[in-house]
Amino acid sequence: MLYAILFTTFITIVLAGLIAGSTFYITLVEVPARSAMNANVSAGSWMETFPRAMKSMKAMGFVLLALLVITFLLTWNFLWLIAIIPFFALGPYTGARMAPINNQLLDEALDLNSQAAHDLTTEWGKRHAIRTYMALSGFAIVVIAGLT
């Protein structure tokens, strides 16, 4: 049983770190890089990376939520359940606050050279920063849970 606890704890921490690290990288590196580009390149870059990132983040998120529950059931440490809150909240936040911008940026009618395209990618970056804070707070809780 001890090995199962250690294994799930390790995998859960690693996966939470990957999710938090991915969001942090996007906020720290990609968003500022896109801000320095002209609207056409910025929106085009976003359109190229977004579909792949969305698929991988969604898959990792579902696996992480399952691992958090499994790790809780193995340890009965309620911090694992508390860590679910910020990670689970990423879904509704994305649906409510990010999806409208995602849909506008993916709309083929959007003129990628327009100020509107640039403004959309800028707003997307601001909203993504909130996702980063959520993921980093969840990761911090996971690390604390793993150490207790």
Given a contact cutoff of 8 angstroms between Cβ atoms, the answer to whether 93 and 133 are in contact is: no
Range of the domain at 40: 2-147
Q: What is the pLDDT along the chain (148 residues), one digit of tens a residue?
A: 889 999 999 999 999 999 999 999 999 998 898 888 877 777 778 788 888 888 999 999 999 999 999 999 999 999 999 999 999 999 999 999 999 999 998 888 888 888 888 888 889 999 999 999 999 999 999 999 999 8
Closest of 104, 142, 128, 111 to residue 53, by C-alpha: 128
Give the total number of structural domains in the chain. Answer: 1
In this prediction, residue 49 carries a pLDDT of 85
CA distance 111 to 138: 37
Given a contact cutoff of 8 angstroms between Cβ atoms, the answer to whether 48 and 107 are in contact is: no
Closest of 98, 42, 88 to residue 61, by C-alpha: 88
Q: Angle at which helices 78-93 and 2-25 pack, to 10 degrees?
A: 30
Instruction: Please provide the DSSP assignment of 92-115 as one string.
Output: HHIIIIIHHHHHHHH-TTS-TTSH
Entry pTM: 0.90
